[in-house]
Amino acid sequence: MDIQEIIIQTNKLSETRAFYSQVLGMDSLKEMEHSVSFAAGSSMLTFQQGNSSVHPTYHFAFNIPENQIQNAIHWAHGKVELLPVTANSNIADYQSWNAHAIYFTDNNGNVLEFIARHDLKNASATAFTAAAINCISEIGLVTEDVPTFTDQLMTAYGLTLFSKQPRQKNFAALGDDHGLFIIVGAERCWYPTNIPSKRFPLKVVIGNDATNQVLEFN
């Protein structure tokens, strides 16, 4: 599954524009009065101005070259504060996924992830920058009933369970190494933080078997 675009909300559009362009160095693709879109490899990350009294937070991940997790850590130094995964490390070692990841938050408190998936064999010798991002590879979806919601998405959109992640009562993953829906129960904290998962408006454009589909969640 390819995630073509995610459209999420912020109540701090100007600050968000500055964070992604000036701090992370991501290229702006579209700028309008109430929205801004950034290039994330083959994907597009779009923020829309939401209700100023609501502070939405999301989780999403970017695939990076599988050999560049240490390069990404070096690049992040002085830009963002990496979140601790253990007492001694900022790197998550997902052995069953054959992947390593690092996490940080943006100006909105969104939980961002850079993940190096070694089975993709997408190593790069180019210096790591935001331009090294391959795509948006995960978006978190929050629900009150993970099993039912997971079944509904599988039936409606022809999605399949991620082969590397056993299905759980409060957690499921749909898709593959290129793109995943991370489905979690409401109030389950986004790993590796104490930020509770909550439902906020979200639109996702996916490509599955060469067919683009738009999913909208309110």
CB under 8 Å to 210, separation ≥6 — which residues?
none
Give the model confidence (pLDDT) of 155-174 as tens digits.
999 999 999 999 999 999 99
Give the model confidence (pLDDT) of 62-95 as tens digits.
999 999 999 999 999 999 999 999 999 999 999 9
d(CA 181, CA 179): 7
d(CA 186, CA 197): 5
In angstroms, what is the C-alpha Rg of the chain? 16
Alpha helical stretches, state H, the chain: 13-18, 69-76, 146-157
Vertex 70: Cα angle to 194 and 196 (nearest 5): 10
Is the four-CA dihedral 112, 118, 123, 126 of positive or negative sign?
positive
- Residue 42 reports pLDDT greater than 80: yes
The pair phi, psi for residue 139, each rounded to 5°, is -140, 135
Give the model confidence (pLDDT) of 182-215 as tens digits.
999 999 999 999 999 999 999 999 986 677 899 9
CB under 8 Å to 194, separation ≥6 — which residues?
none
